[in-house]
Amino acid sequence: MPSKRDRLTPALFLPTIQCLAAAALFGASTPLSKSLLASLGPFALAGLLYLGAAVVALPAGLRDIRKARWSERRQQLLLLGAVVFGGGLAPVLLLLGLRAAPAASVSLWLNLEVVATTLLAAAFFREYLDGRTRLAAGIVFLGGVLLTAHEGVAGIRAGMFVALACVCWGLDNNLTAIIDGFTPPQTTCIKGIFAGTVNLALGLAFGERIPGLGSAGFAMLVGGVCYGASIILYISGAQQLGASRSQLLFATSGFFGMFLAWSFLGEHIHVAQLGAGVLMVLGLVMMLTARHEHEHTHERLSHTHSHRHDDGHHNHVHPGVPASVRHTHPHDHEPLTHSHPHAPDLHHRHEHV
């Protein structure tokens, strides 16, 4: 029987709306980027999108800036990987695919990011992959293959670009998940500033059209709202809903993008897109509602991240601070053995026999 904390209560209405709003904003980035590609090259547009995200995330990123662990080599390397793969390569690959395929199809292909994140996590980041999750990943992948076949030769090329973008974002997601020396807004700021500047400079060096103030401003606005604001909304909701519910809600982003492409860009509705959408919904629901529970042991650990004291893992005391208040500071974990449903978050990266 689920505990009171596991049930969806009226208090969770706001975080649910926040996650759905984050999904809608991120989904809107695909059709809006498609329209911007008419006046901007992929490198310049990718740079402007991420610079816009950095601007919006900056106020939240400056919060607790003195608590960030800038000098730790491991944190630097993890952050560098997130910047290169998530902020540098992934958006350019996505936009290259978007130039050759309908925005509705690309929006659905982006669901492959969940599959890529899951498979990479199992292969390289000590996450457990059960049979249900493997089947779910296969169903989502099958939906992507159906879309690719429908789009023909051009679709194969575009699908490969988008799939590679999803692999890069999958690496980014796994690296970001184990960064505990910086808050998510700080990571977003750093990623946006460095990757955005480099991609914009590469676009100009490769002879892409110099963006006018109108196009550049609109691109940064799209990046700020669809990437930056989306990330902040998602973090706010996920901190209260937990990983599984928040991921399930955010997985609707591709479908928001598909509907916006049909309505905003006037793209034709294809049966293959509807069929792929059904397969992907089925696979994502199976994947994100899987339950994983067993007795496990937490080793001694010191790190910094946003947390609260009513989750069974943070037992240190702050006099006068309610257990439900979320806050960030360096803290230590003593060894602990217990059993409960869990996801592979910062505290659950143990081995599975």
Q: What digits encode the pLDDT tens for the residues 4-18?
A: 444 445 557 788 899
On whether the CB atoms of residues 341 and 293 are closer than 8 A, the answer is yes
Rounded to whole angstroms, the Cα distance separating 45 from 37 reads 7
On whether the CB atoms of residues 19 and 95 are closer than 8 A, the answer is no
Rounded to whole angstroms, the Cα distance separating 313 from 26 reads 32
On whether the CB atoms of residues 182 and 69 are closer than 8 A, the answer is yes
pLDDT at site 96:
96
Q: Report yes or no on 347 lying in a domain.
A: no
Is 0.95 topped by the overall pTM?
no
Question: Could you tell me the two tokens for 269?
Answer: 């509705």
Question: Could you tell me the two tokens for 45?
Answer: 């547009």
Q: Report yes or no on 215 lying in a domain.
A: yes
Q: Report yes or no on 3 lying in a domain.
A: no
Segments in 37-130 forming alpha helices (H): 42-62, 73-81, 90-100, 103-109, 112-124
Half-sphere exposure in the Cβ direction for 321 (13 Å, CA): 15
Q: Report yes or no on 73 lying in a domain.
A: yes
Give the position of tokens 């309610």: 322
Element holding 168 (H helix, E strand): helix 131-177
What percent of the chain is predicted at pLDDT more than 70? 76
| Domain extent for 287 | 13-62+69-291
Q: Report yes or no on 32 lying in a domain.
A: yes
Q: How far is CA 19 from CA 178, 235, 250, in A?
A: 21, 8, 6
Question: Could you tell me the two tokens for 204?
Answer: 């100009």
Segments in 207-340 forming alpha helices (H): 213-222, 230-241, 243-250, 253-264, 271-288
Question: Could you tell me the two tokens for 51?
Answer: 């610079």
Q: Is the pLDDT score of 2 beyond 50? A: no
Q: Report yes or no on 53 lying in a domain.
A: yes
Question: Could you tell me the two tokens for 30?
Answer: 């695909």
Cβ neighbours of residue 142 under 8 Å, at least 6 residues apart?
A: 279, 283
Q: What is the tens place of the pLDDT at every residue in 113-145?
A: 888 888 888 888 776 777 787 888 888 888 888
- The total number of structural domains in the chain stands at 1
Q: Report yes or no on 310 lying in a domain.
A: no
Range name among 16-20, 54-58, 196-200, 225-229 with the lowest pLDDT average = 16-20
Strand pairing of 301-307 and 327-333? antiparallel
